[in-house]
Structure formats: C-alpha cells, structure tokens
C-alpha cells in the first residue's frame, strides 16, 4: 500500500492547540487529550488514502478545487495533496461559518 507523508503547517498546529485549550477549559483535560488524539489520528489516516476527503462545498462554489476535507465530530480538517505529501492547513470547528473563519485568517 502506498503511503504518503502527513505534514501539519503552523496554522494547523495552532488550531490543535486552540482546540485543546478550549476543551480543557470548558470540559476537562482528559476530554481535551481524547479530542487531540482523535484529531491527530484522523490526520494520520490520510497517509494511506489521502483523496478520500471531499472538496469543501464552500470552496467548490467559488471554484477552488485544490483543497479537500475530512471531518471528525464537529471539526473539519482541511488539507491538500502534493505528490506524496499531505499538507494539513487548518482544523476548524464545523459549527462556525467557514467564510468568517477564513477571513479572520487572512487578517492575521
């Protein structure tokens, strides 16, 4: 089976840290550990079948087919595939408006 490398960029790493902090503060450290492990595992699963995700509808509508997503619970993991590497770009709360989140990122 062909394997790909999975790389989290700085934004995705920051997203994981933010999610961890939020869950730890609003639930428990134990739950934050579980969520972090599950999100990390969801990212690593892309090593074997990276094209299993779909193009996010919000990006497809505006003609941006370069990114794909997979979901874990309410979270959306956005990534791209280049050669034999999967680049995780962001991990966002799917309950929030994607357009607003992306605009906030452009301002940073």
Instruction: Output the pLDDT for position 8.
Output: 97
Instruction: Output the pLDDT for position 103.
Output: 65
| Owner of token pair 């490398």 | 5
Cα separation of 101 and 108, whole Å?
Answer: 11
Successive 10-residue mean pLDDT values, the chain, 108 residues: 92 96 98 97 95 88 89 94 95 85 65
Instruction: Output the pLDDT for position 108.
Output: 59
Short-list 69, 103, 100, CA closest to 86:
69
Instruction: Output the pLDDT for position 2.
Output: 85
Specify whether domain 5-107 bears CATH 3.30.2310.20.
yes
Q: pTM for the complete prediction?
A: 0.89
| Owner of token pair 């989290």 | 8
């Amino acid at each position: 089976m062909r394997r790909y490398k999975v790389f989290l960029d700085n934004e995705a790493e920051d997203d994981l840290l933010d999610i961890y902090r939020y869950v730890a503060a609003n639930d428990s450290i134990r739950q934050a550990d579980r969520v972090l492990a599950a999100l990390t595992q969801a990212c690593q699963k892309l090593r074997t079948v990276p094209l299993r995700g779909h193009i996010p509808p919000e990006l497809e509508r505006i003609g941006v087919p370069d990114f794909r997503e997979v979901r874990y619970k309410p979270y959306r993991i956005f990534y791209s595939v280049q050669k034999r590497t999967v680049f995780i770009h962001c991990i966002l709360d799917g309950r929030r408006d994607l357009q607003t989140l992306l605009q906030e990122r452009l301002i940073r």
